[in-house]
């Protein structure tokens, strides 16, 4: 979508450090970066830490790490600074207080002394009478006295609130249905719907790109923007939600796949995750599935973003990740595999890489495939034929140069002499050496092991020297 005016595009994400970094944060960040970069804009990271109860400073670091890992770097943020800092809402309290005071002074907001219990009772009664709930405005006309604690409520002007959503088009909400809502909590902190538009305005955010859960928050925020005399953002974009397999919104509690750290631990490539996330809720209109970041940048546009939530699907992610792994050159795969194979030296990993490449859906799988290199498998139960096969193999392998090709030739000799199918000979060897029925081709499997180790495992399997 074209940018309507000449002013510099500024986008932002505003995660809350209330738990591990969320998949949705990555997705929102991606779309912000895609739109921001394509329009030569600035990407701002703001930390929305106004929930004193749930905030934890260490989670802020987790957010940084996850975003860096994905390559979604920001231009301004708490750690980098920038012209519109500070970028942590907990450090901008004075700003919100000023704005609240202004609203109070102009009669656009008022103090509310109602207790949570009283509010709850109001709400319950409305529900019992089957009438839509709106705050009664008791404290606007007739506030109780002698109560030290108060919140600040915005006096909702009502009317129709319209705005442009780059995905859904022209939106319109009836603000007469919205009750006076709280903008400053009794602890002095602003609520989300107050701090967010104030900061977006102060930070000159031109395009607000966020999850769909904020669609109905937008009229709240726009009324505040208007009341404060700020100019509204040029446009919004409310992205479809990422749903869990069961169709529910991805929650940190119920769905482990919401945790961004999981993908790094499992060995998903950041570029593969990005690719998958881009395709969740957006499509290029062509059959292309694999994109470099630059291709994404060029292809992305909000008018091809889906309106409905999309379910997260491990299978598709696995396939994309496998595609990316297969496209890595051997050197690069070796490098990326290193943290996942702490028991192996780099040379061994490098030798294993060609066989690994087509067998990995994620890097962590490599350990399952190669663990026979650092752990002795239990000797297998073998029938007499298998014992015979291994005995013949031990003879044939004796003194053979320890490389896949000579090993292969020697073993094929055994196969031919036995007149049996190759599998009859190879499977017992595989079992004896790896303890598993599945491995890369037997010659590679053997060659990766030091010759003496391989030979002793074979001998042990047949109960002594051949």
- Where in the sequence numbering do the catalytic residues fall? 252
Stretch that binds RNA, among 155-163, 226-234, 279-287, 387-395 (CB under 7 A): 279-287
Q: Is 124 in the site for RNA (CB under 7 A)?
A: no
Structure tokens at 265: 């631990």
Q: Which of 69, 189, 293, 402 binds RNA (CB under 7 A)?
A: 189
Backbone CA torsion sign across 330, 268, 296, 6:
negative
Could you tell me which residues come within 8 angstroms of residue 207 by beta carbon, excluding any fewer than 6 positions away?
A: 9, 10, 11, 35, 41, 166, 233, 234, 235, 236, 237
Stretch that binds RNA, among 71-79, 98-106, 126-134, 265-273 (CB under 7 A): 126-134
Q: Is 315 in the site for RNA (CB under 7 A)?
A: yes
Inter-CA distances, 205 with 50, 201, 320, 390, Å: 20, 6, 34, 71
Distance CA(46)–CA(231), nearest Å, equals 20
Residue with token string 């196969």: 415
Closest CB to RNA among residues 87, 426: 426
Q: Is 443 in the site for RNA (CB under 7 A)?
A: yes
Q: Is 48 in the site for RNA (CB under 7 A)?
A: yes
Q: Is 316 in the site for RNA (CB under 7 A)?
A: yes
Q: Is 217 in the site for RNA (CB under 7 A)?
A: yes
Q: Is 168 in the site for RNA (CB under 7 A)?
A: yes
Q: Which of 1, 228, 243, 297 binds RNA (CB under 7 A)?
A: 243
Strands 169-174 and 182-184: unpaired
Alpha helices in 328-376 (DSSP H): 330-337, 346-357, 365-370
Q: Which of 105, 132, 419, 464 binds RNA (CB under 7 A)?
A: 132
Chain residues 348-377 in contact with RNA, contact rule CB under 7 A = 358-359
Chain residues 23-42 in contact with RNA, contact rule CB under 7 A = none
Residue 199 burial by CB count (10 A; 0-12/13-18/19+): exposed, middle or buried?
Answer: buried
Closest CB to RNA among residues 52, 465: 52
Q: Is 311 in the site for RNA (CB under 7 A)?
A: yes
Of 436, 438, 437, 435, the closest CA to residue 460 belongs to 435
Q: Is 212 in the site for RNA (CB under 7 A)?
A: yes
- Order of strands, sheet of 235-239, starting from the edge strand that comes earlier in the sequence: 169-174, 160-165, 235-239, 207-211
Closest CB to RNA among residues 8, 121: 121
Stretch that binds RNA, among 155-163, 261-269, 300-308, 375-383 (CB under 7 A): 300-308
Q: Is 253 in the site for RNA (CB under 7 A)?
A: no
Chain residues 391-420 in contact with RNA, contact rule CB under 7 A = 408
Residue with token string 């009317």: 159
Q: Is 100 in the site for RNA (CB under 7 A)?
A: no
Q: Is 50 in the site for RNA (CB under 7 A)?
A: yes
Query: Phi and psi at residue 172, in whole multiples of 5°?
Result: -145, 130
Q: Is 281 in the site for RNA (CB under 7 A)?
A: yes
Instruction: Tell me if 45 sits within 8 A of 278, measured CB to CB.
Output: no
Q: Is 187 in the site for RNA (CB under 7 A)?
A: yes
Distance CA(35)–CA(209), nearest Å, equals 9
- Judged by CB under 7 A, the number of residues near RNA is 89
Q: Is 125 in the site for RNA (CB under 7 A)?
A: no
Q: Considering the complex, what minimum distance in angstroms separates the CB of residue 303 from RNA? A: 7
Closest CB to RNA among residues 127, 342: 127
164-195: burial string, b at 16+ Cβ within 10 Å, e else: bbbbeeebebeeeebbbbbbbbeeebbbbbbb
Inter-CA distances, 313 with 188, 211, 246, 257, 276, Å: 42, 19, 11, 10, 10
Stretch that binds RNA, among 4-12, 34-42, 72-80, 187-195 (CB under 7 A): 187-195
Q: Is 293 in the site for RNA (CB under 7 A)?
A: no
Closest CB to RNA among residues 233, 240: 240
Closest CB to RNA among residues 55, 206: 55
């Amino acid at each position: 979508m074209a940018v309507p005016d000449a002013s510099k595009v500024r986008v932002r994400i505003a995660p809350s450090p209330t738990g591990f970094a969320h998949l949705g944060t990555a997705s929102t960040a991606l779309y912000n970066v895609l739109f921001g970069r394509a329009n030569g804009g600035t990407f701002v990271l703001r930390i929305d830490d106004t929930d004193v109860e749930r905030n934890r400073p260490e989670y802020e670091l987790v957010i940084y790490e996850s975003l860096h890992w994905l390559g979604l770097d920001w231009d301004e943020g708490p750690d980098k600074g920038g012209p519109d800092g500070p970028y942590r809402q907990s450090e901008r309290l004075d700003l919100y207080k000023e704005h609240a005071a202004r609203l109070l002074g102009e009669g656009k907001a008022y103090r509310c002394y109602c207790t949570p219990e009283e509010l709850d009772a109001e709400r319950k009664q409305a529900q019992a009478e089957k009438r839509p709930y709106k705050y009664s405005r008791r404290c606007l006309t007739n506030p109780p006295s002698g109560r030290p604690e108060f919140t600040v409520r915005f006096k909702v002007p009502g009317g129709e609130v319209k705005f442009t959503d780059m995905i859904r088009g022209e939106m319109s909400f009836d603000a007469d249905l919205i009750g006076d809502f709280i903008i400053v909590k009794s602890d002095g902190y602003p609520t989300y719907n107050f701090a967010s538009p104030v900061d977006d305005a102060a930070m000159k955010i031109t395009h607000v790109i966020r999850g769909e859960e904020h669609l109905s928050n937008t009229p709240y925020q726009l009324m505040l923007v208007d009341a404060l005399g700020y100019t509204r953002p040029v446009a919004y974009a409310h992205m479809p939600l990422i749903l869990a397999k069961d169709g529910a919104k991805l929650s940190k509690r119920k769905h482990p796949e919401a945790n961004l750290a999981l993908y790094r631990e499992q060995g998903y490539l950041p570029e593969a995750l990005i690719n998958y996330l881009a395709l969740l809720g957006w499509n290029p209109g062509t059959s292309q599935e694999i994109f470099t970041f630059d291709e994404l940048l060029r292809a992305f546009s909000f008018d091809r973003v889906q309106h409905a939530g999309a379910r997260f699907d491990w299978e598709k992610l696995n396939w994309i990740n496998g595609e990316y792994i297969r496209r890595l050159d051997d050197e690069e795969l070796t490098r990326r595999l290193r943290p996942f194979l702490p028991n192996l030296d780099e040379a061994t990993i490098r030798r294993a890489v060609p066989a690994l490449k087509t067998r990995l859906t994620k890097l962590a799988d490599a350990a399952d495939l190669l663990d026979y290199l650092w752990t002795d498998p239990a000797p297998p139960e073998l029938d007499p034929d298998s014992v015979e096969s291994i005995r013949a193999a031990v003879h044939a392998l004796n003194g053979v140069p320890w490389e896949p090709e000579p090993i292969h030739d020697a073993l094929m000799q055994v196969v031919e002499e036995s007149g049996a199918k190759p599998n009859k000979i190879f499977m017992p060897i595989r079992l004896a050496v790896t303890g598993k029925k599945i491995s890369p081709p037997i010659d590679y499997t053997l060659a990766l092991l030091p010759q003496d180790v391989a030979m002793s495992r074979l001998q042990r399997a047949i109960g002594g020297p051949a």
